[in-house]
Chain A
Amino acid sequence: MYVYIIKRLAVAIPTILILVVFSFVLMYWAPGGPFNSERPLPAQVMANIEAKYGLDQPVWKQMIDYVWGVVTRFDFGPSFQYTDRTVNDVIAQGFPVTLTYGFWSAIAAVLVGVTLGIAAALKHNSWLDYIAVGITIGAQALPNFVMAPILVLIFTLWLGWLPGGGWNGGQWQYVIMPVIALSTSYMASIARITRSSMLEVMNSNFIRTARAKGLPMRRVVLRHALKPTLLPVISYLGPAVVGMITGSVVVDIAFSTGGIGQFFVNSAFNRDYSVIMGITILVGMLTITFNLLVDILYAWIDPKIRY
């Protein structure tokens, strides 16, 4: 087990480093420096600015400084567009918001998805099953950036129940629509995976034995069937959480929630390279860490896995 964790770490850490270096090289190649504006600055001013941000150093020194800053101090450097804030300030402001609705989305997707999947599998080929399958197909073809405007249309414009955007410190009315928009497609996938996994498990020998012993259905499902059913769901959690982090860009744009995605897209339009790069690296780290955690969890739960 420990060997497996160390092996996975041995892959994860270089991956993060590759991502950091790759982003840095991309930024270095960018045509036009970050301070090239329409009105050229006087040479002395330019030199001062470049000295301030360390842009007068040779490339390798800049890169090592940057990587060192990220790795040791978790410091992504200053924003190139707003002199009064650093990339860390931006992250500190946007990240809690993203985490809040991301957390609730993950909970909602798993709870609703698993419940729906199990219900559909237990009532195989009933109307409940057909409805569940219909919902999952529908929700899969409905990406979150399509969901979001439809939700606003229904709940804000027609029904007037929920505010159409904003965050307001995370009051529950403001969280509902982002969570629905973000979690629906993952909920559908989880339901589909749970359903097919449950169908397979319910047909297996140990379940037949459990039922033959005369255990009540509740106990068979909860004690015996649930754990093997959830294994494929756990392995799906990695990609799902990654998708939710990416989807936060859409949620932030559609609902103006002020999460990290909003800063990302705004910086993309402002060509604020250091902020884009910082957020990309942060998301990359999160993704890799989460995939690592899920894999370890999976290896820990599933006795069949070889590592």
Chain B
Amino acid sequence: MKLASGDAKLLDETAQLASIRGRSLWADARGRFLRNRAALLGLIVLVLVAIFALFGGYFAKYEPDYVDFSLMGANAYRGVPSFESGHYFGVDFDGRDLFARTVQGTGISMLVGVVGALVAVVVGTLYGATAGYIGGRVDNIMMRTVDILMSIPFMFVLILMLVIFGRSMFMLFLGIGLISWLDMSRIARGQTLSIKNKEFVEAAVATGVRPFTIILRHVVPNLLGIVIVYSTLLVPQMIIFESFISYLGLGIQEPQTSLGALINQGAEQMNNGTLWMLAFPLFFFLVTLFAFFFVGDGLRDALDPKDR
């Protein structure tokens, strides 16, 4: 038996095709992301801020809660930022090293932001995907519930909760988690509605896969792109949210601190000429937010096919 020459050529070409690696959706998205200069810069800045929050503590000469009584109340003229004294960012009103406190505040703010976004992603995606996949009356009830929850002024309810159950990290996380998943569930539901009619879901149904397994195995992975985009945009929102609560003095409790609390203290002490108390936390706050916004924007351009 012998192959016709045309067939042989075809075989050859197929073999060549196989050796060329196909570009996946993710590789494509990575390429688009890396070409976006603002997003790349944002990512680099984020990594730098994260390094600052994680390892900055090793460079601090003082503990964040160490009070230097000789500087207490005298920070305006004796706690000026300087390298000689080891207070790189100066000293706050209570005689504590602002560098160490900024490191701690940045860390806690980022932690709150990431955890809040994570809760939103897990709860919101599952909730939205379930509602969208099951559809019908269940969907109706689930999404009406979200509508009702969304129209409640959560900032006030959270403050009420923080007052009643006492202020703690856990309460803050719980409160932020309660709010943050609502938007995500709507987005996930909308996306699920279009995924659910695709052939691969039909195939899964036909082979008898249980609905919940279909949601986890087949629907959620296809939501990932949009979920990642919105969660990067959620993190700065959560950071702002936590800082807002801490700014009011109701969030993170002393001796721990967050950027919002530091900004609040800096703003209170503005009249004393200790501007560094405002400037350094504010700088890290804004830089982190901007970086997250740019990365989120870049990811949206890279992953969200609608916007192109």
Extra inter-chain contacts (7) besides given A146-B282, A153-B278, CB under 8 Å: A12-B151, A143-B244, A149-B267, A264-B159, A276-B159, A283-B153, A287-B153
Say whether A254 contacts B267, CB under 8 Å. yes
B294 to chain A, nearest CB (A): 9
In contact, A148 and B267 (Cβ under 8 angstroms): yes
Question: Which residues of B sit under 8 angstroms from A143, Cβ to Cβ?
Answer: 240, 243-244
Kindly report which residue of chain B lies nearest to residue A140, judged by CB atoms.
Answer: B293
Which residues of B have CB within 8 Å of A14?
A: 148
Assembly CA distance A12 to B270 (angstroms):
44
Stretch at the interface among A23-31, A57-65, A218-226: A23-31
> Which residues of A does B touch, CB under 8 Å?
11-12, 14-15, 18-19, 22-23, 26-27, 29-31, 137, 140-143, 145-146, 148-149, 152-153, 157, 242, 245-246, 249-250, 253-254, 264-265, 268-269, 271, 273, 276-277, 279-280, 283-284, 287-288, 291
**What's the nearest-Cβ distance from chain B to residue A160, in Å?**
13
Complex CA gap A29/B166 in Å reads 12
CB nearest neighbor in A for B268:
A149
Q: Does B148 contact A18, Cβ atoms closer than 8 Å? A: yes
Chain A, interface SS category: helix
Is A271 touching B289 in the complex (CB atoms < 8 A)?
no
B binding-site residues for A, Cβ under 8 Å: 144, 147-148, 151-153, 155-157, 159-166, 236, 240, 243-244, 247-250, 260, 263-264, 266-267, 270-271, 275, 278, 282, 285-286, 289-290, 293
Give B240 Cβ to nearest chain A Cβ, in Å.
5
Contacting B244 at CB < 8 Å: which of A29, A242, A250? Answer: A250
Contacts of B275 in A (CB 8 A): 153
Which residues of chain A are within 8 angstroms of B148 by Cβ–Cβ distance? 11, 14-15, 18
| Residues of chain B within 8 A of A153, CB atoms compared | 270, 275, 278
B285 proximity list for chain A (CB < 8 A):
146
- Tell me whether A249 and B160 are in contact (CB under 8 A): no
Residues on A with beta carbons closer than 8 Å to the beta carbon of B153: 242, 245-246, 280, 283-284, 287
Shortest C-beta distance, A199 to chain B (Å), equals 13
| Chain A residues whose C-beta falls within 8 Å of the C-beta of B166 in the assembled complex | 31
A27 touches which of B162, B164, B260 (Cβ 8 Å): B164
* CB-based contact B270/A142 at 8 Å: no
Q: Are A29 and B164 in contact (CB under 8 A)?
A: yes
Q: How close is B116's CB to chain A, nearest CB, in angstroms?
A: 15
Can you pick out 15 interface pairs between chain A and chain B where the beta carbons lie within 8 Å of each other?
A: A15-B148, A15-B152, A19-B152, A30-B165, A141-B236, A141-B286, A141-B289, A141-B293, A149-B270, A152-B270, A245-B153, A268-B248, A280-B160, A283-B153, A287-B153
